[in-house]
């Protein structure tokens, strides 16, 4: 356990480097050698590394009892990998097949791929997609904030008190806030700003759709 605690960041960075290599090898085998099954092995390796990172974060949290920046970084990576990362990966996969197909003079996209590309360019579909992602972000944001606040308060009534009186924000310190420590206080406050910006950006596609 001492080894994990002392070299947690080094282990995480090493795992991320291996993950990037796995993705690069996936692309090489899938797009250049046209060996889809071999490429999938590297995707499974990437997902396995993400899960190992999650396990590492949990083990360290279980040992220290503190939710530190390390756990936050791992949480963000894991959540992204298994939520928005999947959508981004599929979009990147189609884009790569389209570009490499043109470069090699072969057709790598199916009719279904072209239908999805056309749909993704539809303003109404974009607006719906961003509304959905905004709703998911809202659920994750509120869940995380409730967890953070529960760690820094002693009862539900105390949490409600902080939620109805935001004078603690002016203090600018974790000591006068519902957060248990400065790390989570900084995370929570920055996340609030990010959430508001994301909310405005996402709903702009609904209120101001592209023509």
The DSSP symbol for 162 reads: H
DSSP 8-state class, residue 7: T
- Domain coordinates in residue numbering, the chain: 1-68
pTM to 2 decimal places: 0.66
Q: What is the pLDDT of residues 25-37, one digit of tens each?
A: 988 888 887 788 8
Q: What is the C-alpha separation between 156 and 143, in angstroms, rounded?
A: 14
C-beta neighbour count of 10 within 10 angstroms: 9
Task: Quote the percentage of the chain above a pLDDT of 70.
Answer: 99
- State yes or no: pLDDT of 4 exceeds 80: no
pLDDT tens profile 99-115: 888 887 777 777 887 88
Q: Report residue 132 as tokens.
A: 């959905």
Which structure tokens are listed for 28? Answer: 């090489």
Report whether 120 contacts 91 (CB < 8 A): yes
pLDDT digits (tens, 9 = 90+) for 38-48: 888 998 999 89
pLDDT 10s digits, 64-120: 777 777 777 888 888 788 777 887 888 888 888 888 888 877 777 778 878 887 887
The closest alpha carbon to 57, from 13, 122, 115, 8, belongs to: 8
Q: Which residues lie closer than 8 Å to 100 by C-beta, 6 or more apart?
A: 31, 32, 108
Confidence of residue 211 (pLDDT cuts 50, 70, 90): low
Using an 8 Å Cβ cutoff, are 151 and 157 in contact?
Answer: no
List, in order, residues 6 or more apart from 68 with CB less than 8 Å away. Answer: 61, 183
């Amino acid at each position: 356990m001492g080894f994990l605690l002392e070299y947690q960041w080094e282990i995480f960075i090493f795992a991320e480097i291996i993950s990037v290599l796995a993705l690069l090898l996936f692309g090489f085998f899938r797009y250049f050698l046209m060996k889809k099954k071999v490429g999938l092995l590297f995707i499974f390796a990437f997902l396995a590394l993400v899960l190992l990172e999650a396990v590492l974060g949990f083990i360290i949290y279980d040992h220290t009892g503190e939710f530190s920046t390390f756990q936050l970084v791992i949480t963000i990576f894991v959540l992204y990998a298994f939520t928005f990362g999947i959508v981004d990966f599929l979009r990147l996969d189609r884009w790569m097949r389209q570009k490499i197909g043109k470069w090699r003079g072969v057709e790598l996209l199916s009719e279904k791929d072209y239908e999805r590309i056309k749909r993704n360019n539809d303003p109404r579909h974009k607006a719906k997609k961003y509304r959905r992602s905004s709703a998911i972000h809202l659920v994750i944001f509120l869940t995380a904030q409730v967890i953070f606040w529960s760690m820094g308060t002693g009862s539900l009534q105390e949490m409600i008190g902080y939620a109805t009186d935001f004078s603690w924000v002016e203090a600018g310190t974790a000591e006068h806030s519902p957060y248990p420590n400065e790390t989570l206080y900084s995370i929570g406050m920055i996340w609030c700003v990010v959430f508001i910006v994301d909310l405005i950006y996402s709903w702009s596609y609904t209120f101001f759709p592209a023509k």
